[in-house]
Amino acid sequence: MAKYPFKEIEQKWQQRWEEDQTFRAVEDEHYPKEKRRYVLDMFPYPSGAGLHVGHPEGYTATDIYCRYLRMNGYNVLHPMGFDAFGLPAENYAIQTGTHPAVTTYTNINRFRTQIKSLGFSYDWSREVTTCDPEYYKWTQWIFLQLFKKGLAYEAEMPINWCPSCKTGLANEEVKDGHCDRCGTKVVRKRIRQWVLKITAYADRLLEDLDKLDWPEPIKLMQRNWIGKSEGATVIFKIDGHDATLEIYTTRPDTLFGATYMVLAPEHPLVPSITTPDRLAAVNAYIDEAAAKSDLERTDLAKDKTGVFTGAYAINPVNGARIPIWISDYVLISYGTGAIMAVPAHDSRDWDFAKKFNLPIIQVVAKPGETGPFDREPAECFEGEGIAVNSSEFNGLPTAEFKQRITAWLEERGIGKKAINYKLRDWLFSRQRYWGEPIPVVHCEHCGIVPLPEESLPLTLPEVKSYAPTGTGESPLATIEEWVQTTCPKCGGPARRETNTMPQWAGSCWYYLRYLDPHNPKAFADRSKIDYWMPVNLYVGGAEHAVLHLLYSRFWHKVLYDLGLANTDEPFMRLVNQGMILGEDNQKMSKSRGNVINPDDIVANYGADTMRVYEMFMGPLEVSKPWSTAGLVGVSRFLERIWALSERAIIDALMSPELEKLLHKTIKKVTNDTATLNFNTAISQMMIYSNELAKLESIPRAAWEPFVLLIAPYAPHLGEELWAKLGHTESVSKAAWPTYNEALTHDEEKEIVVQINGKVRSKFTAPAGTAREQLVEMARQAEKISDWLAGKEIIKAIAVQDKLVNFVIKG
């Protein structure tokens, strides 16, 4: 018996698909909207390490699904491209002097070859690369639209700075307070930055999550990241000053329990309210806080610090004079940068009050708590309850008190309802070379001036050194002839922006460029957007939950508001594939030496084996360890199918039993493929092929549908077997097999007989036998009369086609 010649077959069909452009997607109006599907993979960053076994997992899943959809009469858009700007290529350039574009395109070519070797049905004519000027021209163009809408602005703000790499780092490049690349401790540095006003969309980004068919944990992560909170602002008078102090609280009902105030060290009121005797201490504290990194201020420094300013605020509800402190546990960037401290009902305030011996007054009684409430409580209580020590509000439940006190404050003009978000504006600039140049100039007369859209792309100039300057400017700043330019508005001298965009920029909208990748006039023609969008299924890793997936939702909404997109959400359904771990159940990494290279698998076992194995490992969404033994099992499965195809395929009727199994198999594989439950679809195909293996010759009617079922999973094998059956057209154009529902049901059912819930016997009965009759049959069943002898039957439960359970006593 000839071994399955996967090398020849895979090469042959990949070549054929390319020559025939089998998977080219065309905007054919004959397909109604509901027969079109846009199935998207998260495109890869082409690293120097080559494709990882994790990449093909999601790609295989979408590929099987796309092939399944095409066979079911759908017009499918399934593109692939490369996220090509980014740090690794630039860092390599710094070390070796190789232009990042050279490294990047070498890696892209390798990735493309690797991806193609797995036989995915992408429409490669739509490939996009984010570092291509023809692509980033439109990234810059979208930036200009954001700028014109006032959604991109310049600001001085503290950022994460790596003193060793001499560059700013994005939040995602900081791991536990250290530079992800070199391990140096990150410090804060104030430099000029471009920032995108994502906060303007906070509420819509939150609300619209409800429309999306995404995994709940991902939606929850976005909700938490956006962090909407509802409360009130309250204005406190400052004793002896005209200025007032505004604070934000989610618990206005605890106002009577405020025993001190805390300002962030950066709060603008601090200098003016600090008393002379406290000035030295306050200034020392401010300097100390400023020198701390974010890590020191948050992660490591749960220990509260702070100093008294010498000033007092007046509590508007009871006139109490309460001290104003400063502490870095209050953040200048959230709310009003100032709080009222209620130590009895906030654990942070509790810790602070305990440390500095500040008074603690209980104002909320736990449900059922009876008091007395005139002494300092033994512990902090943050839950809801009944108001105490709150004058005329005593006895009110928390929720009601909140409403009443907010109205009370509003009437007096000293407070109002307020909403805050944890989400911050998006720090959008990098002091890096390998990114999209930000298309604006700084003019002495006109200020910041956007480049005219016709002048785009603003391409990256060549530089001698890719190394960061260390001054907080990108390497672009060193090219005087590039930096010096003229103002598009007044024609006077101007300097180009030298910051570049972060890696996330290109991926914010790539799914739109796939729709019309070569359009020189627009990022995508509106008719093509209307034809395909929104994305029906988006598959990728969960690590992008709050970064790419939030950023691209933001950009998409902006485009929608500009009338440039047809929906206000880009990705209707999201599925996260689980991680593939090493054989040792650890994350794959070079240092652990447990990395599996897909090239080796394809070379030794074939692409189809790789594909089917990755889908057979377990559910798509969960993490699972790689197992070479498991891979071999799948390889044997495909070998057996090949061996079956070498047997005589005859035009004879199949047995009724086989026919039933065939229809059950078609049903299960159809449903499981449609719902992405590929592992159970594969095991059903194994069951069916094991049955076929018992036959010396195989009825054509039993074989052909099976070839069609396996084709999306093992497409090369599928094509070859289909051709062996005499078909000349690609199996991907064939119609998916149908099943007869009646044949998927058994006429005879095995009925289980239980005594007190334990299985004691079994018998067969015609499907649909009435429950009363099942009970009668069960009484006669083998051994059951012995079990029932001399016992009282309290109850007999019968479930049609399933079981009879006798509940007995004695």
* Residue numbering of the annotated binding site for ATP: 590
Q: Is 163 in the site for RNA (CB under 7 A)?
A: no
At its nearest, how many Å lie between RNA and the CB of residue 691?
10
Candidates 33-41, 103-111, 767-775, 796-804; binding stretch for RNA (CB under 7 A): 796-804
What is the CA angle 639-643-646, rounded to 5?
Answer: 145
Q: Which residues, numbered 44-83, are part of the site for RNA (CB under 7 A)?
A: none
Nearer to RNA, 397 or 633 (CB): 633
Reduced to 3 states (helix: H, G, I; strand: E, B; else coil), residue 59 is: helix
Q: Which residues, numbered 560-589, are part of the site for RNA (CB under 7 A)?
A: 587
Judged by CB under 7 A, the residue of 485, 683, 744, 769 near RNA is 683
Nearer to RNA, 37 or 402 (CB): 402
Candidates 144-152, 314-322, 554-562, 754-762; binding stretch for RNA (CB under 7 A): 754-762
Nearer to RNA, 256 or 434 (CB): 256
At its nearest, how many Å lie between RNA and the CB of residue 65?
17
At its nearest, how many Å lie between RNA and the CB of residue 112?
29
At its nearest, how many Å lie between RNA and the CB of residue 672?
8
Would you state the structure tokens that stand for residue 209, as one six-digit string? 């999550």
Kindly give, in sequence order, each residue whose CB lies less than 8 Å from that of residue 407, ignoring residues fewer than 6 positions away.
none
Nearer to RNA, 157 or 807 (CB): 807
Binding pattern for the stretch 693-722 against RNA, x by CB under 7 A and - elsewhere: xx----------------------------
Nearer to RNA, 72 or 683 (CB): 683
Nearer to RNA, 291 or 799 (CB): 799
Candidates 37-45, 497-505, 632-640, 718-726; binding stretch for RNA (CB under 7 A): 632-640
**Alpha helices, DSSP H only, in 198-293?**
202-207, 216-226, 270-273, 279-291
Q: Is 557 in the site for RNA (CB under 7 A)?
A: no
At its nearest, how many Å lie between RNA and the CB of residue 260?
13
Q: Is 680 in the site for RNA (CB under 7 A)?
A: yes
- Residue 387, judged by CB atoms within 10 A of its CB (0-12, 13-18, 19+), counts as buried
Residues tagged in the binding site annotation: 590
At its nearest, how many Å lie between RNA and the CB of residue 787?
8
Binding pattern for the stretch 660-679 against RNA, x by CB under 7 A and - elsewhere: -----------------x-x
Judged by CB under 7 A, the residue of 26, 687, 767, 770 near RNA is 687
Considering CB under 7 A, how many residues would be counted as binding RNA? Answer: 83
Output helix, strand, coil percentages for the chain, rounded to the nearest 5: 40, 20, 40
Q: Which residues, numbered 281-310, are part of the site for RNA (CB under 7 A)?
A: 297-299, 301-304
At its nearest, how many Å lie between RNA and the CB of residue 705?
19
Q: Which residues, numbered 245-284, are part of the site for RNA (CB under 7 A)?
A: 248-251, 264
326-330 CB contacts, 8 Å cutoff, 24+ apart = 326/262, 326/263, 326/264, 326/265, 326/267, 326/270, 326/282, 326/285, 326/286, 327/262, 327/264, 327/265, 327/352, 328/264, 328/265, 328/289, 328/292, 328/297, 328/301, 329/262, 329/304, 330/262, 330/263, 330/264
Alpha-carbon gap, residue 364 to 382, rounded angstroms: 9
Judged by CB under 7 A, the residue of 686, 695, 775, 788 near RNA is 686
Nearer to RNA, 321 or 758 (CB): 758
**Would you say 159 and 427 are in contact if contact means Cβ atoms under 8 Å apart?**
yes
Would you state the structure tokens that stand for residue 572, as one six-digit string? 């209707």
Q: Which residues, numbered 221-240, are part of the site for RNA (CB under 7 A)?
A: 221, 224-225, 227, 229, 231
What is the CA angle 393-397-403, rounded to 5?
Answer: 70
Alpha-carbon gap, residue 594 to 584, rounded angstroms: 7
**Alpha helices, DSSP H only, in 118-215?**
133-148, 202-207
Residue with tokens 């990494």, as numbered in its chain: 589
Alpha-carbon gap, residue 315 to 400, rounded angstroms: 21
Element (H, E) at 719: helix 715-724
Q: Is 762 in the site for RNA (CB under 7 A)?
A: yes
Q: How far is CA 558 from the centre of its chain?
A: 20
Alpha-carbon gap, residue 435 to 170, rounded angstroms: 13
Q: Is 24 in the site for RNA (CB under 7 A)?
A: no
Query: Listing from the earlier edge strand, what are the strands of the sheet with 792-799?
Result: 758-766, 748-755, 803-809, 792-799
Nearer to RNA, 555 or 642 (CB): 642
Would you state the structure tokens that stand for residue 28, as one six-digit string? 């054919």
At its nearest, how many Å lie between RNA and the CB of residue 341?
8
Q: Could you tell me which residues are beta bridge partners of residue 236?
A: 245
Judged by CB under 7 A, the residue of 164, 627, 655, 738 near RNA is 627
Alpha-carbon gap, residue 808 to 561, rounded angstroms: 69
At its nearest, how many Å lie between RNA and the CB of residue 435?
22
Look at residues 476, 397, 485 and name the one whose alpha carbon lies nearest to residue 444: 485
At its nearest, how many Å lie between RNA and the CB of residue 247?
7
Nearer to RNA, 77 or 387 (CB): 387
Candidates 21-29, 501-509, 731-739, 792-800; binding stretch for RNA (CB under 7 A): 792-800
Binding pattern for the stretch 398-437 against RNA, x by CB under 7 A and - elsewhere: ----------------------x-x---------------
Nearer to RNA, 108 or 226 (CB): 226
Look at residues 416, 219, 390, 210 and name the one whose alpha carbon lies nearest to residue 317: 390
**Would you say 84 and 102 are in contact if contact means Cβ atoms under 8 Å apart?**
no
Nearer to RNA, 488 or 582 (CB): 582
Amino acid at 222: Q
Binding pattern for the stretch 189-218 against RNA, x by CB under 7 A and - elsewhere: ---------------------------xx-
Nearer to RNA, 511 or 637 (CB): 637
Q: Is 788 in the site for RNA (CB under 7 A)?
A: no
Binding pattern for the stretch 510-549 against RNA, x by CB under 7 A and - elsewhere: --------------------------------xx-xx---
**Would you say 422 and 433 are in contact if contact means Cβ atoms under 8 Å apart?**
no
Alpha-carbon gap, residue 120 to 136, rounded angstroms: 26
Alpha-carbon gap, residue 47 to 83, rounded angstroms: 10
Measuring CA to CA, how many Å separate 328 from each of 115, 305, 335? 50, 7, 14
Nearer to RNA, 431 or 754 (CB): 754
At its nearest, how many Å lie between RNA and the CB of residue 296?
9
- Residue 253, judged by CB atoms within 10 A of its CB (0-12, 13-18, 19+), counts as buried
Q: Could you tell me which residues are beta bridge partners of residue 82?
A: 129
Look at residues 176, 173, 331 and name the one whose alpha carbon lies nearest to residue 247: 331
Q: Is 805 in the site for RNA (CB under 7 A)?
A: yes
Phi-psi region of 149 (alpha: psi -120 to 50; beta: other; left: phi over 0): alpha
Binding pattern for the stretch 594-623 against RNA, x by CB under 7 A and - elsewhere: ----------------------xxxx--xx
Judged by CB under 7 A, the residue of 639, 659, 700, 775 near RNA is 639
Nearer to RNA, 314 or 686 (CB): 686
Nearer to RNA, 37 or 624 (CB): 624
Residue 102 burial (CB count, 10 A): 13
Q: Which residues, numbered 312-371, are part of the site for RNA (CB under 7 A)?
A: 328-331, 334-335, 337, 339, 346, 348, 351
At its nearest, how many Å lie between RNA and the CB of residue 427?
13
**Would you say 740 and 663 are in contact if contact means Cβ atoms under 8 Å apart?**
yes
Judged by CB under 7 A, the residue of 521, 590, 758, 809 near RNA is 758
